[in-house]
Amino acid sequence: MTITVVHREPWLVLLFSLPSERASERVGVWRKLQQYGALPLRNSGYLLPGDAQNQERFEWLAASIRGSKGKASVLQVQSIDDLPTETLQEQFRDARAADYQAFIKGIRKLKASGSGPSALVSRYRRRFEEIASIDFFGSPWRTKAEEALARAEHPQTVPGNAKRGRLSKMEYLSRTWITRPRPGIDRVSSAWLITRFIDSKAIFVFAKDTNAHSQAIPFDMYQPGGFGHEGDKCTFETLCSRFSLKEKKVQLIAQTIHDADLDDTKFGRTEGIAINQILKGWAKLDVSDEELLRRGMEMIEGLYQSIQ
């Protein structure tokens, strides 16, 4: 393994071997490495970003291996010549993406089964915190996992007669609607749907907590109340169902939003993926929530107009 010094932040590499008869100790080491979020470095060892906590973890693990009659060394290196820093960071993000995806799948099954006792949800909360603690380079799947957890902790309900039957648009005219900051594809498309088919004079505000605007109608919020995910439906689909919006083009957009927002292939529609990526890119820039919403709604209107 050739090493060159090209960046200041070190990597930590654990090299070790254990006698063949120490099978149970080898399994224990492997479990610890999984817990630490270490990345296999070909057949050479395991890799972690070089910070104090990871240094301590590897040093303790190395001491344990030596105590089991094995050999272990902890190396601090600056770079690996055929594995650029960006490549290694992406490999760490990919590893956490797999963890987050499994987490989301599990918590959605829990919610779909209707079995969501607080003890089970608390277990998922702990699992999320475990994954997040080793998400060293910010996997884009973290936000979706956090949203899935929040929905399990705060099941969405719709006030009044929204719980049963269909709603009348007349009760929702010239209202203020509230959603979370940095709107993504489900929220911008829902705002477009509200403005175009439900409340043409809608005013949109942003907050993390519905208490900030107690008279506003929540949509796609974590707290109970308003319109949000119901079963396997995204917020856009919920609004379509509650307000009996059955126009063919709207239903096609609903399928598109579902597949992009929930990251599944239920309807096999891919148009929303690019829109979602563009929204994520804009969200990283110095763009206000209002401007982000406006741009997103314009893209959904363009999609609507393009459907023959």
CATH of the domain at 62: 3.30.70.240
Same domain, 215 and 268: yes
Same domain, 112 and 206: no
Task: For residue 291, give the 3-state DSSP assignment.
Answer: helix
Q: What dihedral do alpha carbons 138, 144, 148, 154 form, nearest 10°?
A: 90
Which of 38, 53, 77 is at the close of a domain? 77
Which of 153, 186, 212 is at the close of a domain? 153
Burial of 37 (0-12, 13-18, 19+ CB in 10 A): buried
Whether the pLDDT of residue 162 is over 50: the answer is no
3: in domain: no
Same domain, 126 and 218: no
Same domain, 42 and 148: no
5: in domain: no
Same domain, 237 and 298: yes
Packing angle of the helix pair 248-262, 271-283 (nearest 10 deg): 60
CA atoms of 180 and 254, how far apart (whole Å):
20
Same domain, 20 and 145: no
Q: What is the mean pLDDT of the chain?
A: 88
Condensed to tens digits (0 to 9), the pLDDT of residues 213-255 reads 989 999 998 777 789 888 788 999 999 999 999 999 999 999 9
CA atoms of 35 and 126, how far apart (whole Å):
13
Same domain, 131 and 224: no
Amino acid code (one letter) for 67: G
Same domain, 287 and 170: yes
Alpha helices (runs of H) in the chain, residue ranges in sequence order = 23-36, 52-67, 85-112, 118-133, 141-153, 185-193, 235-242, 248-262, 271-283, 289-306
Q: Are the C-beta atoms of 187 and 180 separated by less than 8 Å?
A: yes
Whether the pLDDT of residue 163 is over 90: the answer is no
CA atoms of 176 and 131, how far apart (whole Å):
37
Same domain, 166 and 147: no
pLDDT of residue 47: 96
Structural domain boundaries, residue 207: 160-306
Condensed to tens digits (0 to 9), the pLDDT of residues 48-82 reads 999 989 999 999 999 999 999 999 999 999 988 88
Main-chain phi, psi angles of 284, to 5 degrees: -80, -15
Whether the pLDDT of residue 38 is over 70: the answer is yes
CA atoms of 145 and 149, how far apart (whole Å):
6
297: in domain: yes
Read off the pLDDT band of 122 (50, 70, 90). Answer: confident
Same domain, 71 and 111: no
59: in domain: yes
204 forms bridges with which residues in the sheet? 177
> Average pLDDT, stretch 84-112?
89
Same domain, 73 and 93: no
Condensed to tens digits (0 to 9), the pLDDT of residues 186-199 reads 999 999 999 999 99
More confident residue, 119 or 63: 63
Which of 137, 153, 169 is at the close of a domain? 153
Condensed to tens digits (0 to 9), the pLDDT of residues 15-25 reads 999 998 989 99
